[in-house]
Amino acid sequence: MPIYEFKCQKCQHCFEFLLLKTDDQVTMQCPSCKGQDIERVLSTTSYVMGGGSGSGSGPSTTNRSCSGGSCTTIDLPGPD
């Protein structure tokens, strides 16, 4: 269930919208001014790496030499 963030172009109010099913037909409008001129904005994430219960090892990095200098690969925990 993704949560989308929107901004009303009329009153500049930012709000979130929870999409329960991808095939839902909804009328999007600002909860503040009821305007329908809204724009989806890029939301920030709240992902925390490592440290939680049940998590294995945290993220790891691998440094190596590349033609452009040095390269770093970050390996995140999770299913392969």
More confident position, 18 or 40: 40
Burial 45-75 (b: 16+ CB within 10 A, else e): eeeeeeeeeeeeeeeeeeeeeeeeeeeeeee
Comparing 71 with 49, which gets the higher pLDDT? Answer: 71
| Cβ proximity of 35 and 15 under 8 Å | no
Q: What's the pLDDT score for residue 30?
A: 93
The stretch 48-74 carries a mean pLDDT of 69
Domain ranges within the chain, ordered by starting residue: 3-41
Q: What is the largest CA-CA distance in the chain?
A: 56
What is the percent of the chain with per-residue pLDDT over 70, rounded to a whole number?
A: 71
pLDDT digits (tens, 9 = 90+) for 11-34: 999 998 887 776 767 788 999 999
Q: Percent of the chain, pLDDT > 90?
A: 24
Residue count of the chain: 80
